């Protein structure tokens, strides 16, 4: 099982990768940012809001809220608005993660999905899920950037580790 330090590292990676993805989409025009590219979520904006919304929903669940709601894509018209909300969520999540004990990671975590079905899994698995989910959808953003003729940015965990080791 992962320990607290492993979880901290995963979420440092997640923050780093989100920042790189947001930086890569910053040069897009508004039209490109909102263009329907026929993906899982229509646009770059919608895909990033989906990542953001999932991170927010899981954070709400970890704080004991029973039925958090999905964030509205229309509340995020620009990359700057997304960056601000990601930063706020990351600050709140850091405080939550720092409150966890090694033993707490293995404890059963009951929650309800978005349609109200009850589930339970170890807390550590829900934490891992959030990072894995973001990785998947950042890959979709990479594909969308290529569709737009833009340069994608690497967000692999190996790149994160190499950058950290190099002090960048």
Name the pLDDT band for 68 (thresholds 50, 70, 90): confident
pTM of the model: 0.96
Domain count along the chain: 1
**pLDDT above 80 (res 98):** yes
Cβ–Cβ under 8 Å, residues 88 and 76: no
The token duo for 137 is 């959808």
Check whether 146 has a pLDDT greater than 80.
yes
- Pull the structure tokens for residue 102: 């090694």
Given a contact cutoff of 8 angstroms between Cβ atoms, the answer to whether 164 and 29 are in contact is no
**Mean pLDDT value across residues 111-131:** 96
High-pLDDT (> 90) share of the chain, %:
95
Please report, for the domain that includes residue 63, its CATH number: 1.20.120.450
Q: DSSP strand E in 19-107: where?
A: none
Task: Determine the structural domain holding residue 137 and report its residue range.
Answer: 4-166
Whether the CB-CB separation of 106 and 123 falls below 8 Å is answered with yes
Crossing angle of helices 157-166 and 4-25, in 10° steps, is 100
In this prediction, residue 11 carries a pLDDT of 99
Provide the pLDDT for residue 66: 78
Element (H, E) at 160: helix 157-166
Give 20-52 pLDDT, tens digit per residue.
Answer: 999 999 999 999 999 999 999 999 999 999 999
**Where does the chain show beta strands of DSSP type E?**
108-112, 118-122
């Amino acid at each position: 099982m992962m320990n607290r330090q492993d979880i901290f590292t995963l979420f440092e990676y997640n923050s780093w990768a989100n920042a790189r993805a947001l930086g890569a989409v910053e040069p897009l025009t508004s039209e490109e940012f909102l263009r329907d590219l026929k993906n899982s979520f229509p646009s770059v904006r919608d895909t990033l809001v989906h990542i953001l919304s999932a991170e927010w929903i899981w954070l709400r669940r970890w704080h004991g809220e029973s039925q958090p709601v999905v964030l509205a894509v229309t509340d995020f018209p620009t990359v700057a608005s997304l960056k601000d909300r990601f930063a706020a969520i990351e600050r709140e999540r850091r405080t939550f993660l720092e409150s966890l004990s090694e033993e707490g990671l293995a404890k059963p975590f009951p929650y309800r999905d978005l349609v109200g079905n009850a589930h339970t899994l170890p807390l550590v698995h829900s934490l891992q899920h959030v990072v894995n989910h973001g990785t998947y959808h950042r890959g979709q953003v990479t594909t969308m950037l290529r569709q737009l003729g833009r340069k994608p940015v690497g967000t692999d965990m190996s790149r994160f580790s190499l950058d950290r080791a190099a002090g960048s």
